[in-house]
Structure 1
Amino acid sequence: MAPAPGPSWGQLAAYAGPALPLAALTLPLYVILPSYYAGAIGLPLAQVGFILLIVRLADAISDPLVGLAADRFHPPLGRRRGWLALAALPAALAAFMILTPPDGASWVYLLGWGLALSLGYTAAIIPYTAWGAELADDYHGRSRVAGAREGMVLVGTLVAISVPALVEASGAGDQGDALAVLAWLVALALPLTVMLAIRALPEPAEPTRALPGLRQGLAHLAANRPFVRLLVAFVVNGFANGLPATLFLFFVARVLEAPQMQGPFLFLYFFCGIAGVPLWIAVSKRLGKHRSWSFAMLGACAIFALVPLLGPGDLVGFAAICVLTGLALGADLALPSAIQADVIDVDRLATGSRRSGLYFALWGLATKLSLALAVGLAFPLLDLAGFVAEGTGDGGLVMLVALYALVPVALKLVAIALMWNFPLDAGAHAELARSLAARDETPGRPLA
């Protein structure tokens, strides 16, 4: 029995829809809101930072709990659609409230709605991504699903960058008004796109066997060597991507001496990321997903190796780097997520059940870990090197360039070494699919 290739293009568009508002609400939370609550609202900056740290820690703790719940509990619409439907309205409400604080809002307001948004977002994103992993069983069909979703994530990120800039540049309002526009966008778009996705796409088939217990389930996770290998490579590459993401604004302002170009360069980078998604999906049909991802990382290494040659005013050169690394970003987003759906099949063969919720919860936790590592390493090292964000002169600039470009190259080479000969290619997955089909056709057959 051949694996199902996955949803139609119309269904793909419906499935990808919720990714836009989900992505649009994440950027303001950690990039715009700290300065807004400290400036316009008047909370102490240290207090705002501490509250957002608590929110991040709660977010990390909630990931595996939500993943377990999304696999084990069955709302009326199902394990994937049902959880997404239940989480959409609370997440939209929390996003609206935190983006439109009243005058004089206290730290309790920020903490309460921050925790509500964190939990609502996690309760939505984990079943949403798990649903995508179960919409197609075909090796290349999964790339289409992941690519559609991650492409829309980039569109949502562009919206989150563009809306505040357009509102303020047009004179239509200040930062608070820009956040209010984003709040209404998310509050209206998230429930609407979730409803359209639920109407357009089916709930995946329920597992034929009971889920393993916690101890046995963890043992199966540890024994899933392709998953462990992929996860380590993903964390290392995420760390590599997190460093330039964390230091991007500093690099443009201090090394290129062009702070006015921060927004345009960010837009160019993410726009090219959108173009990169279909490009790398097409390449993966010829080379395989893991090898295509490795080539994309190699290309990014070659491009980042040129960054130390840039200096004040080298805007054309940096624009070219944004274009090329943006194209590579498309592979970083779409291909690992599609490979993740494949390694879940290894667990499915061993346990007889689909635990996509738990697997994607660990995936989300790994993403947050890699970003935390980037911030935790970059800022202390910059401080030790004497770097001053608002200053002038050369203090700490060598460290800034090294962390922005050279350390990521070394990290990506490690990720490439892990993924170059990844064992679960198209041929191995086809054999895995045949084993799953044979097992499903013989319900009493022992598990592998």
Structure 2
Amino acid sequence: MRIGYGLGSFGTGTFATVPGLLLLYYLTDVLGVAAGVAGALVFLPKAWDVLINPCVGSLSDRTVHRWGPRRPWMLLGAVAMPVSFAAMFAGPPLERGWAAAYVAVLFLLTATGFACFQVPYVALPAELTTDHDERARIMSWRVAFLGGAILLAGALAPVLAGASGDERGTLGGYRLMGAVIGVLLCAGTLAAFFATSGAPSVLRAVSEPSLAAQLRAARGNRPFAWLLGFYVVQAAAAGLMLAGAQYFATYVLDRPKAITALFACLIVPSLAAMPLWLALGRRLGKRAAAFAASLCFLVAAAGTSTARGLPAWAVYAFMALAGVGYAGMQMLPLAMLGDAVAADAFLSGRRRAGVFTGLWTAGETLGLAVGPGLFGLALSISGFVSSDADHRVAQPDSAPGGVVVGFGALPAALVALSLPLLARYDLTEDRLDELRAASEAAAEAWTETAAGTSAEIASEAETAAGRDRG
């Protein structure tokens, strides 16, 4: 079940990686869209997720189907997202303004399909087990597959985009990339849909009657609120580095194909570090381990901001350190999310995992969209000049400085800002165990009371029947 669930991260990880990695660059360096406009186009369609994700979550909470409340929505997203993604990079040759509008509309449709899959997918762990350590193990498999997807997509997509001869990418190369990555998206999401067909649901809570009631409940869950704020800020930091990777390889390292090595240095250590963060989370608690992972990433991001004065091996070493921290930054907050959702179910007896994860994925998507927007702003301030695939232009001396600020300094600053939010998260493992025990005791008491009431009713009925016979 852990492996089957984790397979879905091949889809979510691929979608989270490729647009963040290549879409801004595709707009500025292939379609010739101005950097500021391109940053806005990457951000605005994703801002739609802030509205649609909670709605999808609420609908999945209230869905009654023989497949369960989550899987019908997962199937819808697994079909819609890959088609829209491939179409986004397969548009006809258009003038810059029309090309930008076309990409924005298709990105909006792709993000909607992604929401239909991701929101119920993220909600599942809170309903698969009541054991917080088991949730962490489930998340470790998910993040392991996520790392594999990021490595594969991050290495493969740029190569496919440049398959037609120009290593920076052409329209034909990006069309090929969109089609191949679309197939990977479909394979990962459908695999998770089929693999979770027999998964149990251990939380027997009833669903909240309305979206408004669910949102009020989420607002009143303080551990969830602080955790969400922490994760959104860190997602923006990750989005900055992701959006800046191709620029960093091209304009700072002066090797566009170095992006593959950068991703390998980021992802391979993150996969190796997964057991470390899982063990540290058990020993010190998830919050303390998340602090350590964040500090690891912060130091690495700050180090890359000095890349112009460093040898290449030092840059790759900082990326490897960032990968170690990134593993914990992904796995631990997701496990803590499952804890917060389970705690809400223990206290309320309501099924609201969908709306909680809808808000979570909306925040994550918003953060990942803010990152490229901030990077586009950094490029604009540094005087970066956009170009299309047929007309490359020389950059001013200030442009590489803007790239390293966006790729290193700004992510480090955002991670530092996220740490006070994490400090306010106070749902410990011991507290969660207490809530689970109280919930189970209440359920047993209710069952005993109901059984006693049924027995009394049956006895009274039998007595009445005896009097009638007499």
TM-score (norm 1): 0.83
- On the 8 A contact 1:252/1:259 being kept in 2, the answer is yes
1:359 is aligned to 2:352: no
Query: Per-residue CA shift, 1:100-126, capped at 9, x if unaligned?
Result: 557889868756654443222211111
Tell me, which stretches of 5 or more residues in structure 1 are unaligned? 1-10
1:141 is displaced (CA, Å) by 1.1
Match of 2:417 among 411, 414, 423: 414
- Of 258, 268, 272, which residue of structure 2 is paired with 1:271? 268
Give me the whole-angstrom Cα distance separating, in 1, the residues matched to 2:415 and 2:23: 31
Between the aligned partners of 1:142 and 1:221, the Cα distance in structure 2 is 20
The answer as to whether partners of 2:206 and 2:349 remain within 8 angstroms in 1 is yes
In 2: Cα distance, 1:124 partner to 1:18 partner: 9
- How much does 1:339 deviate? 0.2
Q: Are the structure 2 counterparts of residues 298 and 362 from structure 1 closer, same or farther at C-alpha, using a change threshold of 3 Å? A: same
- C-alpha RMSD of matched pairs (Å): 3.5
Residue matched to 1:220? 217
Is there any run of 5+ residues in structure 2 with no aligned partner, and where? 166-171, 387-392, 449-470
Percent of pairs with identical residues: 24
The corresponding residue for 2:4 is 14
Q: Following TM superposition, by how much is the alpha carbon of 1:211 offset from its aligned partner in structure 2, in angstroms?
A: 1.3
Secondary structure in 2 aligned to 1:290? Answer: helix
Amino acid of the structure 2 residue aligned with 1:140: D
| Farther off after superposition, 327-336 or 294-303 | 294-303
Aligned to 1:190: 189
Any conservation in 2 of the 1:80–1:127 contact (CA below 8 Å)?
Answer: yes
Contact 1:212 1:351 in 2 (8 A): no
Q: Retained in 2: the 8 A contact 1:273–1:329? A: yes
* Post-superposition offset of 1:175: 4.1
Aligned residue among 33, 40, 58 for 2:48: 58
Q: Distance in 1 between matches of 2:384 and 2:38?
A: 23
Q: String of CA shifts for 1:28-84, please: whole Å, max 9, x gaps.
A: 4454467668998x7978998877655324333211110111111223211122322
1-structure distance, mates of 2:33, 2:307 = 37
Q: How does 1:108-187 map to 2 (within 5 A)?
A: 113-165=106-158, 167=160, 174-187=173-186
Deviation at 1:364, TM superposition (A): 1.1
RCO higher in structure (CA 8 A, sep ≥6): 2
Q: 1:170 to 1:128 in 2, by over 3 A?
A: same
Q: CA deviation at 1:289?
A: 0.7
**Helix, strand or coil for the counterpart of 1:134?**
helix
Q: Which moved more, 1:84-93 or 1:326-335?
A: 84-93
Three-state SS of the structure 2 residue aligned to 1:424 is coil
The answer as to whether partners of 2:343 and 2:436 remain within 8 angstroms in 1 is: no
Letter in 1 for 2:338: A
Confirm whether residue 302 of structure 1 aligns to residue 295 of structure 2. no
Q: Distance in 2 between matches of 1:264 and 1:342?
A: 36
> CA deviation digits over 1:266-314, x for unaligned, max 9?
2321232222323211221111111001011122233334334432561
Supply the distance in 2 between the matched residues of 1:283 and 1:370 (Cα, whole angstroms): 27
Map Cα deviations across residues 235-286 of structure 1 (whole Å, 9 max, x no partner). 2222333333333333344344444422321232123222232321122111
- Counterpart in 1 of 2:459? none
2:242 to 236, 240, 245: 245
Query: In 2, are the aligned partners of 1:237 and 1:415 still within 8 Å (CA)?
Result: yes
- If the length of structure 2 is used for normalisation, what is the TM-score? 0.79
Is the contact made by 2:241 and 2:406 (CA closer than 8 Å) also made in structure 1? yes
Give 3-state SS (helix, strand or coil) of 1:329's partner: helix
Q: Does residue 93 of structure 2 align to residue 90 of structure 1?
A: no
Most deviating of 275-284 and 408-417: 408-417
* Structure 1 pair 376–33 and aligned structure 2 pair: CA distance change class (3 A): closer
- Match of 2:196, SS state, is helix
What is the total number of aligned residue pairs between the two structures?
432
> Contact 1:284–1:292 at 8 Å: present in 2 too?
yes
* Worse overlay, 261-270 or 288-297: 261-270
In structure 2, distance between residues paired with 1:49 and 1:418: 27
Q: Partner letter of residue 251 of structure 2?
A: R
Q: Distance in 2 between matches of 1:190 and 1:218?
A: 27
